Structures are given as C-alpha cells and as structure tokens.
A and B are shown apart, each in its own frame.
Chain A
Amino acid sequence: MKLYSSLTKKYIMSLAGLFLLTFLLVHLTINLLILVDDGRSLFNTVAHFMGTNVFIQTFQWVLFGGFAIHILFGFILQIANWMARPKRYDKKAISETSFFSKFMIHTGIIILVFLGIHLADFFVKKIGGTVPEIHSGDLAGIEDMGILVLEKFKMGGYVLFYVLSLLFLGFHLDHAFQSSFQSLGLNHDKYTPFIKSLSRILAIVITLGYITIPVCIYFFK
C-alpha cells in the first residue's frame, strides 16, 4: 500500500495503539468493580451507564475504528516485512534484541482471536438483548451483566483461556507502549528509560488487573 509511507503507517499504528491502551485502562477499572460488592450492583450500574449513555455509545464507534485501524495496519506492515526477505536464512538470526518485539504479529493475532470470542460472549449478547434482567431492588429492569461474567468465570476452562490470552496481551503491551514513543520520534536520554520502565509496569499492572478478576471469582465467589 503506497498510499502512506512506511513511517506514516507506523505513526498511525502507534497512535491507534496508545488509544487502545486508554480503552484497556477504562475497561479494567470498570471490570474491577465486580469484585467490590457481592450483589454486583455497582458493576451493573456502571455497565448500564456505559451501555446507554449517548456520549459513550457514540464514542464506541471511534473505539471500533481504532481497533480496525490498528489491526489493518498491523497486517499491512507485517506482510510488507515478510515480503522484504523472500529468501530466509538457513541459520536463524541470533542477534540480541527486544524479545517480545519479534512476536507482535503472533501475540496480536492471539489477542484478535480473544477479542472475537470476548465480543461474542458479552457484547453480542448485550446488543442481542439476551442478557437476563434484574427483577428486584433499585436496579430492577436493567440487564444483569454481572451474572454473565460470574457464569463465565465459574468455568475452569474459560478462566484458563482468559488468563492465557491476557498473558499474551501483556507480552504485546510490554513492547508496544515504549515502542510507540520511538516510532513517533520521542526518544531522549532524559525520559526514554522512564518510558521503558513504565511500559513494563503498565503491561504487568494491566495483565495482573484483568487476571485477578476471573481468578478471584473462580476461587472465592
């Protein structure tokens, strides 16, 4: 695709990636609310707000756009990269490199598969109106998204699949965050070491944060 230069494609990739990272943080914060109270009322209230608020519902399309662009450009860049070396080495290259950066397409594809299953499990059910409603209390009449989460996370196999997928997301993020700054030309002795540390911290915090939820529900709820 000669429409954009290789560098412009990387800028778009980086910006879309950073945007998706903010989504991950918002999503994680809301998810963690399910651990707050046994009645799930806080989580359900926020889920209902997210599902009905006009601003959020409009912005949702921007989010879909962000995903589409990041995934599309990821594949376009990777295909160009494969094409740049039609004949591969006999002895595999063993240069010292940033490890996770070599597997961004692989971890990316795993996350994409997870995203598909995840959307089918929660988002599609929500849109399709097949989520059970709450019958009593202050929240009567709204969907019980919380019960959907609890049902899923009571299944051992699903928890294992979720945890593994999130680990791969962590591997992806460990390289992604700091790499996006380099791609955007932001590299300096003063802040690059900090950004690299922050990248690892974000990857660990986000992964552990998401993993905590199914593990807590499976073992303690």
Chain B
Amino acid sequence: MDLKLKIWRQAAQDAPGKFVMYPIQNISSEASFLEMLDILNEQLVAKGEDPVAFDHDCREGICGMCSLFINGKPHGPDAAITTCQLHMRRFNDGDTIVIEPWRAKPFPVIKDLMVDRTAFDEIIQAGGFVSVNTGGVPDANAIPIKKRNADLAMDAASCIGCGACVAACKNASAMLFVSAKVSQFALLPQGKVEAKERVQKMVAKMDDLGFGNCTNTYACEAECPKEISVTNIARMNREFLCAKVS
C-alpha cells in the first residue's frame, strides 16, 4: 500500500518543530506500524537525511515505551493496544496518516516523536512504592485478601505507564495513571500501611509537575491500552479525601 505520512519533526527540545510530509510506497498490510516507520527511516538514512526519532522497546505491548498520537488517537485507531501492536492492515491504500508526539506540558518533546516521560517517574518516586518491611515470603494463604480486591489491584497494576491517558485527556491530566498506581497499593494489605501519605504525596507531585485537572470526560479510559478503569480515579478521590480528613 502507498501512504502519505504527515510527521512532526523537531530537532531538539527547544528547537521549533514543523510537520513534514513523507510519501511511502509498497508497504505490506502485514507490517506493523513501527516496522512501517523503520522502513521510512531506512529510506531517509539511504538518502542521507535524519531519521524520524520515536520511542519503542519490547514491541509486544508490555513495556510502555511506544507512544505516538496517530490520526487524533493515542496508540492509533484500535482499542486496547499499544502503537507497536498496531498493523498497517488497519489503514487503507492512499491514506494520509498524521503522526504527532504526546502533547502535554510535563511531557516535553525531546526529538521528533519522542517525549520525556520522566514526570511519571517523579510521581512514582513521590510515593508509588511500599517501604514498610514486609518480611520474608509468607505462605500464600497467610494473609486473607478478598478475591475482588486482588483482581482490582491486579487490573490497576497492569498500567504500563505509557502516558496515553495524558495524551488523550483534553486537559492533559495524569489522573488515570496516578490513580492506577495509588489503587494497586491501596487495595492490598502491604500497601494500606502507607496509603494516606502515598496518595497525598503522589497527588502533590502530579500537581507540581503541571498536569491538568480531571473533568471526568473519560477519554483516558477509552484510549488506555490496558483498559484501566476510571473507577480507579474515584478510588483515588476517595483515598485522598479520607487522608485529608482523618
């Protein structure tokens, strides 16, 4: 298939950027989206041009490194997948595909389509861990945990921290990410010990970094490759309120 790619090019963080059109021919519908970009880059390198920088690592939807805002959607048109799991069969011959980096003040563009997601690491560093001594490995049944809570904690923990929630949110809010990280601990006994301090520190860090506020629009949930539920946001709102008043 033959395509036109409209790609954001930006030489460095403080350099001005612009869109550049790249026509590309003979792309297999079986190629993945990132393979298609690899082909483009090989052609650019052969011509002596600067290849398009984009983030990727595992290429199997686990690591959370790939990003890309494709035709108005983070991770492209399909639901519940990352960009690396997107295939060219999802597009039609002759399509123009607009590829942009995540846009948010706390996610500055490093180069082309790569953004700096250190802000997420800083939120985790503010409290997204358990620091109480939990001892050696206990017997699996020594601590009774409700099946429902174990499932909810596991669902929250499936967040890969890719930042699609921030990219999709009209306010560039990080509420889905932070609430998933708060929830995965708050639901389990080891995490409950520090739950109050954790939620306050993580929210404070999120605010400091300049993420927007939640309008309960739920674009984050619609675009999350791991289908993290907005009920986590309600849980964080609840945890934070309880922490503030008790």
A interface residues, Cβ below 8 angstroms from B: 2, 5-11, 77, 80-81, 83-98, 101-102, 104, 175, 179, 182-187
A175 cross-chain contacts in B, Cβ below 8 A: 216
Q: Which of B103, B171, B237, B239 lies in contact with A183, CB distance below 8 A?
A: B237
The reply to whether A11 and B222 contact each other, CB–CB distance below 8 Å, is: no
A80 to B104, CA, bound (A): 12
Residues of B94-135 whose CB lies within 8 A of A: 98, 100, 103-106
> Using a Cβ–Cβ cut-off of 8 Å, how many residues does chain B contribute to the interface with A?
47
Residue in A2, A86, A93 whose Cβ sees the most chain B Cβ within 10 Å: A93
B231 cross-chain contacts in A, Cβ below 8 A: 187
The reply to whether A184 and B212 contact each other, CB–CB distance below 8 Å, is: no
User: Which chain B residue shows the least CB distance to A183?
Assistant: B237
The reply to whether A6 and B213 contact each other, CB–CB distance below 8 Å, is: yes
A2 cross-chain contacts in B, Cβ below 8 A: 207
B8 cross-chain contacts in A, Cβ below 8 A: 90
The reply to whether A97 and B100 contact each other, CB–CB distance below 8 Å, is: no
B52 close to A (CB within 8 Å): no
A7 to B244, CA, bound (A): 11
Q: Beyond A95-B73, A97-B170: 4 further Cβ-contacts under 8 Å?
A: A9-B213, A80-B213, A91-B71, A183-B237
Q: Which of A5, A88, A101 lies in contact with B215, CB distance below 8 A?
A: A101
Residues of B211-239 whose CB lies within 8 A of A: 211-219, 222-223, 230-231, 233-239
Q: A81-B215, A84-B211, A89-B103 are in contact. Are A6 and B206 (CB under 8 A)?
A: yes
User: Which chain A residue shows the least CB distance to B233?
Assistant: A182
The reply to whether A88 and B103 contact each other, CB–CB distance below 8 Å, is: yes
Q: A84-B171, A90-B100 are in contact. Are A184 and B216 (CB under 8 A)?
A: no
Q: Which of A9, A10, A81, A92 lies in contact with B72, CB distance below 8 A?
A: A92
User: Which chain A residue shows the least CB distance to B207?
Assistant: A6
Chain B proximity of A43: nearest CB distance (Å):
38
A11 to B234, CA, bound (A): 12
A95 to B77, CA, bound (A): 9
The reply to whether B219 and A183 contact each other, CB–CB distance below 8 Å, is: no
The reply to whether B219 and A96 contact each other, CB–CB distance below 8 Å, is: yes
A9 cross-chain contacts in B, Cβ below 8 A: 213
